């Protein structure tokens, strides 16, 4: 039975990761057409991807969007988690339940809802609207991570700081924040990764400036090329490293 479960586990993991492995392998293929057997191996597609102006512009836009959205989500998520865990107010439980809605809703619903809002308020679509959209689903990621860490942090530390003359802001900045710093970094890394890879919400909110996933999506309509495989491989590597680092920080 243990061997059977082990074989089933290997089969499931292989089924899930085989497409990713295929993309990585073909990114090193010398041929321009994705076919077997592979005619040879090369790094030229990575050089072309790095030197492609449109891909570089998309990468820069993705970094801008992910950075701003992560900063906004980190500030709002930390303050929201701190308020829920440390204070009692009307609608507290309702607020806590409503926070997770952006994660539970399909991306297409979030995109349509935000597009309707921006159209009703005459806000032009562009990187700003994409940042707002990404911060919307990044907020619950930060909130849940920080709320979980704050629930394990004893209030006696902040009470001791208050006894020594610190006001609430000083107690949070000098006592609370250092204690939850690793959780904040973990949530921020995860939110950054989600924002960097997001495409469904971005489709509805972007203007004439493409993010990197949007640029790749536009090119995929004309077929899969080794250059795209190389770009996707780089994104997979960076995203995987950020997720692993986030998980390690969460355990601390």
CA distances from 149 to 4, 30, 103, 180 (A): 38, 49, 20, 6
Q: What is the pLDDT of residues 179-237, one digit of tens each?
A: 777 788 888 888 888 888 888 888 888 877 888 888 878 777 766 677 777 877 887 78
What is the structure's pLDDT at 247?
A: 67
Q: Which contiguous run of DSSP H or E holds residue 173?
A: none
Residue 23 has pLDDT above 60, yes or no: yes
Residue 76 has pLDDT above 60, yes or no: yes
Structural contact between residues 129 and 119, judged by C-beta atoms closer than 8 angstroms: no
**Which one, of 88, 252, 82, lies nearest residue 173 by Cα?**
82
Residues of the chain with CATH 1.10.3720.10: 43-251
**Which one, of 118, 116, 103, 106, lies nearest residue 194 by Cα?**
103
Q: 7 phi and psi, to 5 degrees? A: -65, -40
Pick the CATH number of 43-251 from 3.50.50.60, 1.10.3720.10, 3.30.470.20, 3.40.50.720: 1.10.3720.10
> What is the arithmetic mean of pLDDT over 104-112?
81
Which residues are paired to 29 by β-bridges?
41
Residue 252 has pLDDT above 60, yes or no: no
Which residues are paired to 41 by β-bridges?
29
What is the structure's pLDDT at 249?
A: 63
Q: 39 phi and psi, to 5 degrees? A: -70, -20
DSSP state, residue 105: S
C-alpha to C-alpha distance for 75 and 65, rounded to whole angstroms: 16
Q: What burial letters (b/e) apply to 52-89, b meaning 16+ CB within 10 Å?
A: beebeebbebbeebbebbbbbbbebbbebbbebbeeee
């Amino acid at each position: 039975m243990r061997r059977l479960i082990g074989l089933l586990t290997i089969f499931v993991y292989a089924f899930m990761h085989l497409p990713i492995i295929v993309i990585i392998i073909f990114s090193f293929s010398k041929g321009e057409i994705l076919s077997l057997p592979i005619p040879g191996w090369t790094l030229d597609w990575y050089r072309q991807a790095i030197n492609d102006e449109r891909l570089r512009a998309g990468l820069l836009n993705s970094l801008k969007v992910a950075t701003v959205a992560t900063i906004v989500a980190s500030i709002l998520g930390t303050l929201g988690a701190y308020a829920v865990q440390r204070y009692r107010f009307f609608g507290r439980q309702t607020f806590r339940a409503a926070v997770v809605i952006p994660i539970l809703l399909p991306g297409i619903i979030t995109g349509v809802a935000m597009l309707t809002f921006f159209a009703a308020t005459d806000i032009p679509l562009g990187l700003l609207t994409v940042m707002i959209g990404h911060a919307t689903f990044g907020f619950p990621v930060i909130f849940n991570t920080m709320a979980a860490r704050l629930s394990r942090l004893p209030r006696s530390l902040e009470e001791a700081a208050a006894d020594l003359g610190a006001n609430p802001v000083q107690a949070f900045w000098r006592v609370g924040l250092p204690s939850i710093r690793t959780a904040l970094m973990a949530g921020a890394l995860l939110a950054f990764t989600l924002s960097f890879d997001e495409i469904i919400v971005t489709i509805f909110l972007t203007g004439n400036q493409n993010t990197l996933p949007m640029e790749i999506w536009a090119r995929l309509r004309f077929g899969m090329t080794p250059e795209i495989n190389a770009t996707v491989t780089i994104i997979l590597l960076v995203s995987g490293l950020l997720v692993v680092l986030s998980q390690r920080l969460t355990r601390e």
